[in-house]
Amino acid sequence: MRFVDEYRDPVAARALVRRITDLAGDDHLKFMEVCGGHTHTIYRHGIEHILPSNVELVHGPGCPVCVIPMGRVDDAISVAESPGVIFCSFGDMMRVPGSNGNLLEAKARGADVRFVYSPLDALRIAEENPDREVVFFAIGFETTAPSTAVTLLRAKAKQVMNFRVFCNHVTIVPPIKAILDSPDLRLDGFLGPGHVSTVVGNRPYRFVPAEYGKPLVTTGFEPLDILHGIAMLLEQIRQGRCEVENQYTRIVRDEGNPAALRAMAEVFELRPHFEWRGLGFIAQSALRLRDEFAAFDVEKHHRLPNIRVADPKACQCGEVLKGVIKPWECKVFGTACTPETPIGTCMVSSEGACAAYYNFGRLHREAAVALGTAAG
Amino acid sequence: MCLGIPGQVVEMLDSHEHLARIDVSGVGRVINIGLLEDEDLGCGDWVLIHVGFAMSKIDEEEAALALASLKMMGGIFDEEVEALMTSQSAAEEMPDAVKAWED
């Protein structure tokens, strides 16, 4: 595992932590990692534990399962329980609670809810069941939206008219803007998302330095990538620079993936506004199908309840998603809310900050020691 | 869902349907490569697969890193790979001769 060792090399990690410590000096600095994949790496490898205490990482809203509001889950269940429907969902969404249970419970009550790996699986089920309405529950940022777009283009070309999409795709830039506009939080920079940026590229983030004066570094998922991204942010601050930089040059290009962007533009348009769990309504932050694809749009065929549902009182996913509190500061974390019986979405998805901390947080010290950088 | 699974292109199958046979941890899967149409993809190239689609062309180094990261995730990785392995749309298509025989 030559390559892997290079990116988990304790000597290199120690050198980077020293550089981070020197650059940070005595200032308390807060950086947000936008992407759930980064949160996972940070807890899995004990990164928070090896950083100097004045360099703080704040977990962002980049977990697509976590940001779906309860009302949308209720809408999904209402569609799933309509007569004749086969409802197809990624596994992650099955256990996300709505106001009256989750999709697994709807299945137990008799709804035909099926787990799929890909939207193409749902299209195939539609082709095999021409007398049933087959609905794909589309969620995710720009990482998964192009796949839904291509699947819809195929459905249209093949005239699979019993295939429908319940579109909940969201876009990465508006929540970053919402967080920057939020008075709750003072941030000094961002670790930009990895996989989303393979699609959208680095250009959409230029407003972060240009309009808000904060640096952003698109960063990979290895522990050394994260440390390197933090060091690059600090270097910008110390050198008086403020720009979008790319640490994850192994995959991310400035222009992103043009074919994926073309497919998305052909199929989707921006919604005027969309509700995000914890962040509320954000203008032009989500995608819906263009009129040319109305025949495939669940929202044009079903009367959805479309009722806004407040999160359970005890649940603080909203504050966790905005980075205002850490997972373990939530009152129900690890007691009433666990991955087995989640109350909030952040505990459901493997990329949710709460699930990542629950699964790996206690390994902090061991992981940090393995990386050879734990202090003391 | 957001996890990218690395795989290596073994055979270009159908340029019209944008399909390729891709080796994922030693198992052949049929994956849509339409989103990499600008990339001049060929046999031996590595890709990162998201929900049944090759989303980025990567090099061998990134493939090794992605796989190692996924393996560290344990159960979550197993679920994602299991989902890909049981995906009907990614099942290897039967040669026409076999289809004819089954009919």
Nearest chain A residue to B68 by CA distance is A4
Q: A1 in a domain, yes or no?
A: no
- Nearest by CB: B35 against A37, A195, A257: A257
Give the pair of three-digit tokens for residue A275. Answer: 């509700």
A123: in domain: yes
**Which region among A155-169, A316-330, B66-80 has the lowest average model confidence (pLDDT)?**
B66-80
Q: How far is CA A179 from the centre of its chain?
A: 14
**Residue A132 in domain:** yes
- Count of structural domains, chain A: 1
- Run of H or E including A86: strand A85-89
- Measured between CB atoms, which of A2, A90, A257 is closest to B55? A257
Question: Quick check: A172 pLDDT over 50?
Answer: yes
Which of B34, B65, B83 faces A3 most closely, judged by CB atoms? B65
Instruction: Note whether A118 contacts B89, CB cutoff 8 Å.
Output: yes
Tell me if A141 is assigned to some domain: yes
Alpha carbon of B64: minimum distance to chain A alpha carbons (Å): 7
**Domain membership flag for residue A11:** no
Looking at CATH, the fold of the domain delimited by B5-102 is given as: SH3 type barrels. (2.30.30)
Kindly report which listed range (A66-80, A146-160, A293-307, A331-345) carries the lowest average pLDDT score: A331-345
Please give the Cα distance from A65 to A73 (Å, whole number). 10
Q: Report the C-alpha gap between B31 and B33 in whole angstroms.
A: 6
In a domain, A296, yes or no: yes
Is A297 part of any domain?
Answer: yes
Percentage of chain A exceeding pLDDT 70: 95
* pLDDT, position A88: 98
Residue A149 has pLDDT above 60, yes or no: yes
Kindly list the residues from chain A whose CB atom is less than 8 angstroms away from the CB atom of residue B93: none
Q: In angstroms, rounded to a whole number, what is the distance separating the alpha carbons of residues A160 and A152?
A: 9
Range of A280's domain?
Answer: 70-172+256-301
* Segments of chain B with pLDDT less than 70: 1-2, 73-76, 92-103
Residues composing chain B: 103
Residue A147 belongs to domain with CATH number? 3.40.50.11740
Q: What average pLDDT does this structure show over A102-113?
A: 97
Q: Are A45 and A71 in contact (CB under 8 A)?
A: no
CA A205 to chain centre: 16
Q: What is the CA radius of gyration of chain B?
A: 14
Please name the residues between 305 and 344 in chain A that touch chain B, using a CB distance below 8 Å: none
User: To the nearest 10°, the Cα dihedral for A311, A313, A314, A319?
Assistant: 60
A51 falls within a domain: no
Do residues A157 and A170 make contact, with C-beta atoms less than 8 angstroms apart? no
Confidence band for A247, pLDDT divided at 50, 70 and 90:
very high
Interface test with A, best of B39, B51, B71, B87 (most A CBs within 10 A): B51
* Contact indicator for A133, A164 with CB cutoff of 8 Å: yes
- Mutation target for B interface from A40, A118, A163, A267: give the one with most B CBs within 10 A: A118
Question: Would you kindly state where each structural domain of chain B is located, as residue ranges?
Answer: 5-102
User: Cα angle at A350 between A202 and A282, to 5 degrees?
Assistant: 50
pLDDT band for A238, please (50, 70, 90 cuts): very high
- Would you state the structure tokens that stand for residue A352, as one six-digit string? 């949710």
The span from the CA of B37 to the CA of A358, in Å, is 40
Residues 147-186 of A with CB under 8 A from B: 147, 150
Predicted ipTM? Answer: 0.86
List the beta bridge partners of residue B32.
B19, B53
